């Protein structure tokens, strides 16, 4: 694939991600203003940490990229910045509207995430990897994202889905898959460790979001 073609595809995916992110944010924000049934506060907090980790990976990827790849990787930085803003909006509404902000399922999710973080840090020490290593960041991102999404599915089964938008669930999948394609396109000859780290974490992101979709459909 030529550099020009990659740039064109990257620009199209970039614009599409912006549209999907706006729809994703708006649909869930409006739903939570009506009801917060089934909403998991720990999900939003951990999701925010996940997004910040991927934002840091994408920022470093820009610094290490060649001129031909720099534009597309800058687009990834912008997308993760947008997602950070989205999470701030959702967290603010949750704090405002949720009568029972923290549930038993949130405690379990945070405990599992904490164990995963400890395991990742221990692994990094054993392998003599710095905590800012892209693969270590990717491992942390997986625990901060995948576990809370499975916990969200559990929360739906326990409390219902009245506060969760079907459009939000659907566009969550669309945006994850679009980011995966965007990361793939950003590769020219060989991926650097930061891009690989982001890609792996997004694969786990999609797999765990399927659990939330199944729970939303079943319950």
What proportion of the chain, given as a percentage, has pLDDT over 70?
A: 94
pTM of the model: 0.82
User: Which of the pair, 121 or 68, is modelled with greater confidence?
Assistant: 121
Q: Is the pLDDT of residue 207 over 70?
A: yes
- Closest C-alpha to 75, from 198, 212, 203: 198
pLDDT attached to residue 2 = 63
pLDDT attached to residue 81 = 93
For residues 171 and 23, the answer to whether their CB atoms sit within 8 Å is yes
Distance of alpha carbon 110 from alpha carbon 177, whole angstroms: 26
| Token pair 């319950």 in the structure block, residue | 219
Distance of alpha carbon 44 from alpha carbon 42, whole angstroms: 5
Q: Is the pLDDT of residue 13 over 90?
A: no
The continuous run of DSSP H or E covering 5 comes out as helix 3-34
Beta-carbon contacts of residue 126 (< 8 Å; ≥ 6 apart): none
Distance of alpha carbon 200 from alpha carbon 142, whole angstroms: 8
Instruction: Output phi, psi for 5, to 5 deg.
Output: -65, -40
Q: Is the pLDDT of residue 39 over 90?
A: yes
Q: Is the pLDDT of residue 37 over 70?
A: yes
The model's confidence at residue 8, banded by pLDDT at 50, 70 and 90, is confident
- Closest C-alpha to 143, from 53, 41, 35, 13: 53
Q: What is the DSSP letter of 105?
A: H
The model's confidence at residue 76, banded by pLDDT at 50, 70 and 90, is confident
Using one digit for the tens of pLDDT, what is the confidence trace for 51-75?
887 788 788 878 877 666 677 778 8
- Closest C-alpha to 40, from 143, 161, 124: 161
The model's confidence at residue 124, banded by pLDDT at 50, 70 and 90, is very high
Distance of alpha carbon 54 from alpha carbon 81, whole angstroms: 10
Query: CA-based angle 123:128:133, to the nearest 5?
Result: 80
Q: Which of 70-74, 84-88, 104-108, 134-138 has the lowest mean pLDDT?
A: 70-74
């Amino acid at each position: 694939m030529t550099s020009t073609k990659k740039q064109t595809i990257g620009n199209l995916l970039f614009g599409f991600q912006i549209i999907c992110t706006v729809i994703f944010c708006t649909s869930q924000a409006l739903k939570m203003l009506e009801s917060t049934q089934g909403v998991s506060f720990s999900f939003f907090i951990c999701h925010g940490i996940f997004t910040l980790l991927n934002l840091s990976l994408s920022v470093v990827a820009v610094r290490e990229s060649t001129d031909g790849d720099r534009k597309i990787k800058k687009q990834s930085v912008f997308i993760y910045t947008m997602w950070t803003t989205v999470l701030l909006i959702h967290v603010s509404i949750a704090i405002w509207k949720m009568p029972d902000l923290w549930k038993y399922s949130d405690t379990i999710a945070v405990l599992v995430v904490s164990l995963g973080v400890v395991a990742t840090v221990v692994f990094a020490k054993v392998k003599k990897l710095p905590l800012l290593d892209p693969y270590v960041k990717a491992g942390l991102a997986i625990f901060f994202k995948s576990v809370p999404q499975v916990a969200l599915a559990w929360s739906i089964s326990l409390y219902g889905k009245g506060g969760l938008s079907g459009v939000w669930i659907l566009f969550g999948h669309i945006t994850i898959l679009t980011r995966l394609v965007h990361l793939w396109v950003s590769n020219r000859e060989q991926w650097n460790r930061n891009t690989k780290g982001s890609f792996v974490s997004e694969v786990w992101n999609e797999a765990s979001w399927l659990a939330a979709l199944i729970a939303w459909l079943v319950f």
